[in-house]
Structure 1
Amino acid sequence: MNPEDPLAGLNPLREPMMIGWWPPAPGWWALLLLVLLVVAFVIVVLRRRYRRNAYRREALRQLQNLHQDYQSGGDASRYLASVNALLKSVALQAYPRADVASRFGATWLQIINRDLPEGQRLGAEFNDAVYRKTPENLDITRILPAARYWICHHKVTP
């Protein structure tokens, strides 16, 4: 030891202990709580949406069954009447009963066509064919995609 160096007699510096990751700081707890609340909210919203659209999924299943029945040798007039009835029942789920229940003919087609794109809109021949034994001047292959699109994309009135 050198008497001229007063620092030579000091003990070496001790390093502090490493800071552990547990328990987290209060800010991390708040962030975790916020994330859990957001996830719970998203789950609730998606669940409500799934339940609210159950009638659409059921209608699409019924539409597919109607189309399969028609393809296996079914009657075209029965197919058209059944598709029309299915669309009407879907509309009764989506819109107020007073706005839909008594609609037929051109006013019923307006309800369907307002949510269909220009190329898929149903014409007056669909309305006429629904009530005839033998549909005339109607391309039946257009009915399934139009009905499927309308069931999936119609706007629901709250």
Structure 2
Amino acid sequence: MNPADPLAQLHPLREPAAIGWWPPAPGWWLLLALVIVGLAAVAWGGLRRYRRNAYRRRGLAQLAQIRSRWLADNNHLRCLSEANALLKAVALRAYPVRDVAGISGRDWQDFLDQTMAGNAGFELRLLQAQYLGEVDGQGLDEHLHQCASWIKRHRVSA
């Protein structure tokens, strides 16, 4: 050590204590509040959608019961009648009664085809099966599949 060098007499530099992360700056509090509000809005919207589509879930469950009864007893006429009644019930839940309740035949087929998101192509003879004396099972499985697709994906105006 050189006594003539005054810098040599200085103590070594001390680093300041590290800055802690708590409490966060006001900007972080604001960001946290915005994230909480955003998550609450998404959860609320999801819950509303879930409740709004409850009739679709019930309709699909009823259609599965109709299909299982058909597979058990092979009664084509009852299966088609119940499936078509279910379609009407679901449509009455989703659309105004004045638009759905009075339509039948070709108008009912057009309504189902127009409100379907995608290609529906319902067969008129299967939609009117309850008015026929005898019905064969030709196309019945495809018809039930189309019914399920319509229940899942029909468009409802908000």
TM value normalised by structure 1: 0.90
**Among the aligned pairs, what percent are the same residue?**
43
Equivalent pair of 2:129/2:135 in contact (CA under 8 Å): yes
Letter in 2 for 1:102: G
**1:39 matched to which residue of 2?**
39
Cα distance between partner residues in 1 of 2:149 and 2:99: 21
Equivalent pair of 1:125/1:138 in contact (CA under 8 Å): no
CA RMSD of aligned residues (A): 1.8
Cα distance between partner residues in 2 of 1:15 and 1:116: 67
Matches within 5 A, 1:1-158: 2-114=2-114, 115=116, 117-118=118-119, 120-135=120-135, 138-158=138-158
Letter in 2 for 1:65: Q
User: 1:128/1:137 Cα in 2 relative to 1: closer, same or farther (>3 Å)?
Assistant: farther
Letter in 2 for 1:75: N
Equivalent pair of 1:77/1:129 in contact (CA under 8 Å): yes
Q: Which moved more, 1:10-19 or 1:92-101?
A: 10-19
SS in 1 for 2:128: helix
- The gaps in structure 2 that reach 5 residues or longer are none
Equivalent pair of 1:106/1:127 in contact (CA under 8 Å): no
Cα distance between partner residues in 1 of 2:56 and 2:81: 19
- Give the drift of 1:128: 3.3
Letter in 2 for 1:66: I
- Give the drift of 1:3: 4.5
Q: Which moved more, 1:13-22 or 1:54-63?
A: 13-22
Equivalent pair of 2:76/2:136 in contact (CA under 8 Å): no
Equivalent pair of 1:126/1:138 in contact (CA under 8 Å): no
User: 1:117/1:128 Cα in 2 relative to 1: closer, same or farther (>3 Å)?
Assistant: same
User: 1:138/1:130 Cα in 2 relative to 1: closer, same or farther (>3 Å)?
Assistant: farther
Cα distance between partner residues in 1 of 2:139 and 2:11: 98
SS in 1 for 2:20: coil
Aligned length: 157
- Give the drift of 1:157: 2.3
TM value normalised by structure 2: 0.90
Equivalent pair of 1:96/1:157 in contact (CA under 8 Å): no
